[in-house]
Chains A and B, each alone.
Chain A
C-alpha cells in the first residue's frame, strides 16, 4: 500500500503544491445482549483512500472506496476539481514538520478477533444474568466491542508511514423501572463502558460478571433514593464524569481550530483567546492538565497524527494557567507556533483530518485515595457516571447529570441520591478545584463518541484523572 500511495502522491505533486493521501482499512465488531437475548451483533469492514490537497488557504478532500490505483486516482481527481471550485482564499502557511517515516502498532496481547463469538457471548450472558437477578431491572444490557484500524499515509513533503491500532472494551447497563420513573446504572462508564487501545485482555480485566450485581442493586436502589438536594456544596468527581468534565470544558475549549473560529458554524467557538497561553487563569493552582498522545492504552494515542506529525505531550494548563493548545500544522502556524501539536485525526478514510483532542488528562495531586479525599470533606456530594451533558457553544456554561450520587457528611458517604445534576462556568468551576487524589488513584476513562466536524466525525479519546474535589458547586436534581 505504501508504494501505491507514494505513486499517487508523486502524481499529485505535479498538480498541486501540497497533497497527502491516506489508505485506511477498518475492521470492527460490536456485540450486545439485552435481557439475555441478542440485541445486536454487528461486524463491519471498510477500506478506501482519502486524498487532501491545499487550495490557497483551504483544503479540498475526496475519498473513494477501494485500495487500488483507480480508487486513488479517482479521489485525487475529485479533490483537485473541488479545489478549483472553491472561491480563492489567501494562502496560509503550514507549520514545518519533518517527514514521518516508519511503522507503528499499538499493544494488544489477545487479538479480539481471534476470540470466538461464543466466548464473548458467554461472558456477556453471565454478566447480563447477574444484572437480571434484581427484579426491578427491566432492561439489562451487556456489550463488548473491538476495532482494528490500519492506516498508511504519504505526503508531497516526503512522509511515508503506516500504523495499526487495536481497541477493545465493553460494559454493562441496568435500567430499573418503578413508580418514580426509570433509573440507569452503568459500568465502567455510560459511554460504551470502557474501551482501551488493547486486546481482549482489557475486556476480561473489567470483570463484567463480578460488577453486575452491584450495578443492578444500585439501579434498583436509585428508584427509592431521594433526589439530590439543591444548593452550593463541595462536589467530588471521579472516573468517567471527571473525564467528561475535562473533555467538554478543557479539551474542546483549547482546540485551536475552534479558538480561531474555524468550527464556528457547528461545534462553536471558545472562550479561550488565541493569545491566552501563559496568562489566562483557567483554574486553581491544583489544576494541571496535559494532552498526551503517547499514553499507552489510551484511545487518543498514536505514533503520527493524520497529517504525519509525531505524537507529543503538550502542557495545556500548568498551576491553573493556560499553557498550550491542541493544534494542527495550519492552526499552529496561524498563531506563530513553531510546530503543530499533532492533533489532526480523521474518522476512517472518508473524512478529512480535523483537530481532535488527544488524551487530555488532569495530573494527579497529593490528596491520597478517594476514601481519603472523602474523609477530608466535611460536607458535599460524590457523583458517579455520566447521564447527560450539555455545554454552550463557547465551552463556558455547562450542565452535567450523573447516574448516582451520595451525600458526604463528616467525611463519610451517606445516603444515595437520585437524578444528580451540577452546573457551572468553566473557569469558575476549575477555580474551585481544591484537591486532587494521588498518582495511585489516577485512571483512564474513555469517550468513544466525540462528535465534531462537517460532515460529522466520531473519535475516541481517553482522559486520565484521579478523583478531585471542587468547592462551591451548584448541584441539584434534574
Chain B
C-alpha cells in the first residue's frame, strides 16, 4: 500500500462514518528489527500492518474505534463502533466539553478537498532508501557491531531497526493530511568479561546514517574502561556529568509532568503558577521543535493540527505548556499540535520533539574538568515519577557509571539510584556541551511512533543520589 493508497483509505474510512463530525486516521507501518545478544543474532521481527482509527464526535463526546481491516465491511464496523460510543456517551452524560475537531490550515501543509494528492509534507523525515527495509543491511549491521565489540574485548547485545510509517488523516472539517516518515536506530550494550557494561546508540531518519561499528566501539570502550571492580559511593549529593541519553530521560520526565497542558489546566502540573518565572538555569533553552534538523520530524499531531516550533523554557524562564484540542479548550487557548489521540489522550498532550540548545563546553571531557569529585552518568534506567507536581523522579544509572576525580573520569562505579526533581536539576545546570544529538529509546510499543529528543551533555550540581545498586 503506497502513501496515496493510505491517504485514499483514510478518505474511505471517513466516508464510512455517519453524518456528524468524524476524523479518520490510517497509520501504515512496515518495520524491521534485528536483535542480538552475546554477539550473536537472537530474534528478528518484520511487521507489515496498518491501523484505521475513527473518532466520532457527538454532542461534545468523542468515541474512538480502530481496526486493521481495510474492506468496506471492516471500515463500516469501525465507524459504527465509534459513532455508537460517542452517542452512548452523549445519552449517558449529557453534553460534553470537546469543542470539535480542528479546522484545516492549508497554509501550513493541509490539503483541502480542492487540492489533489499529494499534499505537501514540510519536513525531511522520509528517506526512500531506508523505506526499502533491506534485511541484508540489518545483517551487515549486526556483523559490524559484533566485530567492533570483539575487537575491544567485549560482547555485544543490542538492536538494529528501521521503519517506514505513513500516516493519513481525513476529517469532516475538511482537514486532509499525509505524513511519511522513516526512522533508523541502533543500540549496543557491550559487556566486558567481568560483567561491566557500556552503552552506545544512534538514531537517524536514514539507515545509511547509522554507524553500528562506531556505536559498538563506543559501548565497548565504556565497558572496558577503568580497572578493577566498580567502586561503591555512599548516598548523597554529587555533581553529575550527564551524557545525552541521561539528559533525554530528564526531558522525558518534564514532558510528562511540566509541559502537559491538561495537568496544567487542572492545576496539578509542575508549571502551574510558574509560567513566566525562572525554573531553570539561565543557560537552559528548551523547545518542542518538530522541524529541528536533527530530530525525527513530524508534520501533524493526532488531530491533524500542524506541528510548529514551541518555546518551552527560554533563558531559564518557563514560557509555555503543550496542548491538544481538549486541554486547550479547558485552558481557554488553542491547540499547539500535541495531541496523541484524536479527542485527546487520557494522559493529556505530549511534547514529542523536545530540543535543548547546547552550551559552551566542547564535550563531556571538558564538562568533567571543573568537577573535583562527581559522577559520570551515561544513561538512566527505569525512570519513574514520584511526585509529578514537583517533577520528583527516581531512576538508576546503567551501562557506564564512573567516578570523576579532579576533573578526570577515573574509576567505574556501581550503579546509583538518583532521586531528584527534574526541574530542580535543570535549575542546577552548571554547563552544557556544545553539541546536541538526537537520542531515542527505540522501545516502540504498539504501532510504530518513533520519537526522540535533541539534547546536549550537561553538568549538573548537587544531584541527589539515594542509594547504590550494589552488586548482590
Binding site for B on A (CB under 8 A): 32-34, 36-48, 55-65, 74, 78-79, 81-87, 89-90, 116-118, 121-122, 125, 138-139, 175, 177, 181-182, 261-266, 268, 271, 350-352, 354, 387-394, 396-397, 399, 401, 419, 421, 423, 425-427, 451, 454-458, 478
Contacts and interface: CB of A to CB of B under 8 A. Distances in A.
Contacts of A389: 382, 384
A478 B40 contact: no
A45 B191 CA distance: 42
B268 to A, nearest CB: 5
A261 B157 contact: yes
B20 to A, nearest CB: 15
Given A82-B135, A182-B389, A46 B45 contact: no
A113 to B, nearest CB: 11
B472 A423 contact: no
B417 interface: yes
B112 interface: no
B115 interface: no
B32 A82 contact: yes
Contacts of A41: 61-64, 85-86, 88-89
Given A122-B92, A390-B396, A425 B385 contact: no
Nearest to A42: B64
Contact of B468 (A55, A388, A397): A397
A82 B84 contact: no
B7 interface: no
Contacts of A388: 384-386, 394
Given A45-B67, A261-B37, A394 B472 contact: yes
A175 B158 CA distance: 40
Interface stretch (B102-110, B340-348, B405-413, B432-440): B340-348
Contacts, number: 285
B164 to A, nearest CB: 14
Interface in B54-112: 60-69, 74, 77-78, 81-82, 84-86, 88-89, 91-93, 96-97
B444 A455 contact: yes
Contact of A82 (B44, B146, B445, B467): B44
Chain B: interface residue count, which band? 35 or more
B124 interface: no
B66 A63 contact: no
B279 interface: no
Interface of B: 31-38, 40-51, 60-69, 74, 77-78, 81-82, 84-86, 88-89, 91-93, 96-97, 135-136, 138-139, 142-143, 146, 157-159, 161, 187-189, 191, 197, 266-268, 341, 343, 345-346, 381-390, 392, 394-396, 398-399, 415, 417, 419, 442-446, 448, 466-472
A154 B266 CA distance: 51
Contact of B143 (A87, A116, A268): A87
A128 to B, nearest CB: 9
A399 B464 CA distance: 15
Contacts of B448: 455
A262 B394 CA distance: 26
Contacts of A43: 64-66, 81-82, 85
B415 A392 contact: yes
B46 A63 contact: yes
A121 B472 contact: no
Contacts of B33: 454-455
Looking at A79, A182, A354, A392, which has the most chain B CB atoms within 10 Å of its CB?
A: A392
A121 B93 contact: yes
A265 B81 CA distance: 40
21 contacts: A41-B63, A43-B66, A46-B66, A58-B40, A59-B42, A87-B40, A87-B139, A117-B92, A139-B268, A177-B267, A181-B389, A264-B37, A266-B443, A351-B45, A352-B45, A389-B384, A393-B382, A394-B472, A396-B471, A397-B468, A397-B470
A456 B88 contact: no
A127 to B, nearest CB: 13
Looking at A56, A78, A84, A455, which has the most chain B CB atoms within 10 Å of its CB?
A: A455
Contacts of A138: 266-268
A123 B387 CA distance: 30
B46 A79 contact: yes
**Nearest 8 A/B pairs, CB to CB:** A85-B135, A456-B445, A117-B88, A397-B469, A121-B92, A38-B89, A392-B469, A265-B157
A265 B159 contact: yes
Contact of A40 (B51, B64, B69, B138): B64
A61 B45 CA distance: 5
A475 to B, nearest CB: 13
B460 to A, nearest CB: 19
A138 B269 CA distance: 12
Looking at A425, A451, A457, which has the most chain B CB atoms within 10 Å of its CB?
A: A425
A439 to B, nearest CB: 32
B387 A60 contact: no
B158 A265 contact: yes
A58 B44 contact: yes
Given A117-B85, A181-B390, 6 more contacts: A37-B93, A43-B85, A85-B139, A350-B47, A350-B49, A454-B442
Contacts of A37: 60-61, 93, 96-97
Looking at A32, A56, A271, A456, which has the most chain B CB atoms within 10 Å of its CB?
A: A456
Contact of B189 (A181, A265, A351, A354): A265
